[in-house]
Amino acid sequence: MAPKPYLVATCVIAAFAAPAAAETIRIEMQNLGYSPATVSAHVGDAVEWTNGDFLAHTATARSKEWDVMLLPKKTGRIVLKRPGEIEYYCRFHPNMVGRISVAE
């Protein structure tokens, strides 16, 4: 269904104030690391991890806000709900660390 003309106009104006459409940021777990290890995102974006290793890993926020368990070759995701610097790690291999910078 095509949007009504006035609705399009509203959206164009809103685009200056509101964040861009939500994105999905993809992070690969490979060879005991997150790749890329540091990403930038906006509130509302999703982060999706894919485990390319032959071992189970997790992506666990240091704040304990979320904890995503990923079996080998599986994918898991979260949606970023608030701005800030998020540090996360793997509970099984704490030498795996990553960071997400979330802007408004």
Partner 1 sequence: MFPRLLAASAALLFGAGVVMAQGAKPNDAQIAHIAYTAGQIDIKAAKLALKKSKNKEVRAFAQDMVRDHTAVNQKALALVKKLNVKPEDNATSKSLVQQAQGTEASLKKLNGAAFDKAYADNEVEYHKTVNGALESTLIPSASNPELKELLQTGLKIFQGHQQHAEQVAKSL
Nearer to partner 1, 26 or 91 (CB): 91
Site for Cu ion in 45-104 (CB under 5 A): 57, 90, 92-93, 96
Residue 59 CB, shortest distance to partner 1, in Å, is: 14
80 secondary structure, DSSP code: -
The Cα 36–Cα 14 span in angstroms is: 32
- Length of the chain as a residue count: 104
Residue 40 CB, shortest distance to Cu ion, in Å, is: 23
Residues 6+ apart with CB under 8 A from 1: none
Binding-site member from 31, 82, 85, 104 for partner 1 (CB under 8 A): 31
